[in-house]
Amino acid sequence: MMKILLCVTGGIAAYKAIDLTSKLVQRNHEVKVLMTPSAQKFITPLPFQALSRHEVHVDIFDETNPEVIKHIDLADWADINIVAPATASTIGKLAAGIADNMVTTTLIASSKPTFIAPAMNSNMYRHAAVQRNMQDLRAMDYHFIDPGSGFLACGYIAEGRMSEPLDIIEAVEQFESTAHYNNDFAGKKILVTAGPTIERIDSVRYLTNNSTGRMGYALAQAASLRGADVTLVSGPVQLQVPNGVSVVMIESAAEMFEAVTTRMADQDIIIKAAAVADYTTDKVTGKMKKKDEDLTLTLSRTEDILKYLGDHKDEQYLAGFAAETEHVAMYAKGKLEKKNADVIIANNVGDSSIGFKSDSNAVEMFFKNGTSHIIPKMSKLEVAHEILTQIKRDQDVR
């Protein structure tokens, strides 16, 4: 979790900052919002206050606490600053060292990393003075999240559109992870499986489970942020593939088995987070017609991917998941031995607050050496980072 100052300046893209605030909070980051007077011409402080659960700071002279100077206190509080949207005016003021509102005064008082997401008309963005100001800020170690191309408020379809909130978040989280973890998985090849599999009954019906793939995708993202060469073998999900991750999309358990086993020899670490079907059916060609009598399906056992990996691994480190609803620790320890894994990561999917569709998770890791490690409830990306940290620690002591 990061403490983030979100600085909103006076552009039409200020409406995107509401979504950015919401998504940052959903990822368990603590957000405090600052607004320029011009920003309040486009949107009020109320939605930011409601989403962040913090006072929105708009007036540099509104010093209600005599024990602190507000803009200094805010500058010291934050881990990261984000300016989104960043207008040409604010960019110019920062480059010139002008501190005349809550945003510019706080940022100039800050020694923390600052990310700037420009948003303006394409001609303004390309103007020599604006480009010079951005170059000067880069030389001062400000970080820019370049705008995209698209429909602008002026009617142009051109460069200058503020980056989407998820792209801004990914850039900030990647910076934080790289700085914090120091590329500790650089040079490692990691394969992660994620999501459900589906087993076809006929051309329109299938068997599947509730997995969304979020935990596996978070593991792939975290590993990539920490420098690993990541391959993600994914069942059908509605998720964006993390930047820098190679993805192999599959559908059935048989396809996942093929995708994983043909790649296992090249991997240093394999993390099997997918919820793979235990049984499959004999697929019927075309669509089965409804009949008056009951239908009986014959289910056949699928190949146990984790057991195969455990039986055939060489130097690979093997991590598996145990998604259980009761006797979680007992089943996880049994799976650890039966599958010849190096660690089993157990989670209680019966708890809806940390289950398949939740943004959070809480797990317990059971290691081959008999030790265990509890990871309390936090965002799935944070859980992923802690899982990787514990895997590295376990490897280092061997």
The contacts of residue 140 (CB under 8 Å, 6+ apart) are: none
Tell me the average pLDDT of the chain: 92
Residue 133: phi and psi, rounded to 5, are: -65, -40
Which of 175, 192, 210 terminates a domain? The answer is: 175
User: Is 171 in the same domain as 195?
Assistant: no
**DSSP symbol at 39:** G
Q: Which tokens in the block code for residue 322?
A: 């145990």
Q: What pLDDT is stored for residue 252 in this prediction?
A: 95
CA distance 186 to 49: 40
Domain count, the chain: 2
Contact, 14 vs 42, CB < 8 A?
yes
User: Is 288 in the same domain as 350?
Assistant: yes
User: Is 356 in the same domain as 372?
Assistant: yes
CA atoms within 13 A on the CB side of 124: 18
Nearest C-alpha neighbor of 315 from the set 279, 276, 267, 353 = 267
* CATH number for the domain harbouring residue 321: 3.40.50.10300
Q: Output the 3-class SS for 371-396.
A: CEEEEEEEEHHHHHHHHHHHHHHHHH
Confidence grade of residue 154 (pLDDT, cut at 50, 70, 90): low
Which of 133, 153, 175 terminates a domain? The answer is: 175
Considering only residues 393 and 182, tell me which one the structure prediction assigns the higher pLDDT: 393
* DSSP-derived secondary structure for 318-343: EEEEEEESSSHHHHHHHHHHHHT-SE
Query: Which DSSP helix (H) or strand (E) runs through 114?
Result: strand 114-118
Which of 145, 175, 205 terminates a domain? The answer is: 175
CA distance 244 to 220: 9
* CATH number for the domain harbouring residue 165: 3.40.50.1950
Q: At residue 336, does pLDDT exceed 80?
A: yes
Q: Which amino acid is at 191?
A: L
Q: What pLDDT is stored for residue 301 in this prediction?
A: 94
Q: Which tokens in the block code for residue 183?
A: 């590329």
CA distance 205 to 277: 15
User: Is 146 in the same domain as 194?
Assistant: no
Contact, 36 vs 9, CB < 8 A?
yes
First-last CA distance in the chain: 30
Known binding positions for CTP: 278, 287, 321, 335, 339
Percent of the chain with pLDDT over 70: 98
Mean pLDDT (whole number) for 301-315: 95
* pLDDT tens by residue, 94-123: 999 999 999 999 999 999 999 999 999 888
Counted residue by residue, the chain has a size of: 398
The whole domain housing 290 covers 183-396
User: Is 125 in the same domain as 187?
Assistant: no
Known binding positions: 278, 287, 321, 335, 339
CA atoms within 13 A on the CB side of 316: 28
User: Is 104 in the same domain as 207?
Assistant: no
CA atoms within 13 A on the CB side of 237: 26
Neighbours of 48 (CB within 10 A): 28
User: Is 199 in the same domain as 164?
Assistant: no
Neighbours of 203 (CB within 10 A): 12
CA distance 226 to 272: 19
Q: At residue 158, does pLDDT exceed 70?
A: no
User: Is 246 in the same domain as 375?
Assistant: yes
Kindly provide the residue ranges of all beta strands, DSSP E only, lying in 269-371, ordered along the sequence.
Answer: 269-272, 279-281, 299-301, 317-324, 343-348, 360-367
Q: At residue 157, does pLDDT exceed 70?
A: no
The contacts of residue 189 (CB under 8 Å, 6+ apart) are: 228, 229, 230, 231, 266, 267, 268, 269
Confidence grade of residue 3 (pLDDT, cut at 50, 70, 90): very high
Angle between helices 380-396 and 214-225 (to 10 degrees): 60
Q: Catalytic positions, please?
A: 154
Lowest mean pLDDT among 6-10, 244-248, 294-298: 294-298
Nearest C-alpha neighbor of 83 from the set 103, 98, 64, 63 = 103
CA distance 389 to 190: 14
Tell whether the torsion through CA atoms of 82, 126, 151 and 13 is positive or negative.
positive
User: Is 188 in the same domain as 135?
Assistant: no
Q: What is the dihedral of CA 257, 263, 265, 266, to 10 degrees?
A: -150
Q: At residue 350, does pLDDT exceed 90?
A: no
Contact, 329 vs 365, CB < 8 A?
no
User: Is 193 in the same domain as 258?
Assistant: yes
Beta bridge partners of 80: 4
pTM score of the predicted model: 0.72
User: Is 169 in the same domain as 187?
Assistant: no
**DSSP symbol at 40:** G
Confidence grade of residue 155 (pLDDT, cut at 50, 70, 90): confident
Confidence grade of residue 65 (pLDDT, cut at 50, 70, 90): confident
User: Is 161 in the same domain as 28?
Assistant: yes
Mean pLDDT (whole number) for 63-80: 92
